[in-house]
Amino acid sequence: MPRVMVEDNSRLSLRIRAQDKAVLMRAVALENTDLTDFVIRTALQAAKTVIEQAERVPLSERDSLRVLAVLEQPPAPNARLLAAAEALPNPS
């Protein structure tokens, strides 16, 4: 279960196995940086990749053309869509 983020805390604590920390420390030494910088940089790269993959919908060329066609010539609204629009609160 996700935990609530504490906005005023800039620290991150985690437990790590000794052999995993040794791997990280070797990578840190090879890149001539510190552990904090290495972990933050690589974790942010991984997080951005996950977010990008979650927000992108891959389409085939055929599907892309179909989406463009529907955007250019949208179908007429059906009864359910019109009813849903009527049920929306008045913005004024």
Helix (H, G, I), strand (E, B) or coil at 49: helix
Rounded distance, CA 68 to CA 52, Å? Answer: 22
pLDDT (average), residues 39-65: 95
Q: pTM of the predicted model, to two decimals?
A: 0.57
Q: What is the pLDDT of residue 90?
A: 84
In a domain, 70, yes or no: yes
3 in a domain, yes or no?
A: no
Classify residue 11: in a domain, yes or no: no
Which helix (H) or strand (E) segment holds residue 26: the answer is helix 18-31
Q: Residue 54 CB: number of other CB atoms within 10 A?
A: 8
Domain count for the chain, please give it: 1
- Give 2's pLDDT tier (boundaries 50, 70, 90): low
Q: Residues 10-44: pLDDT tens digits?
A: 888 899 999 999 999 999 999 999 999 999 999 99
Q: Is residue 64 part of a domain?
A: yes
Q: Is residue 66 a part of any domain in this protein?
A: yes
Instruction: Report the distance separating Cα 28 and Cα 34, nearest Å.
Output: 6
The whole domain housing 82 covers: 18-87
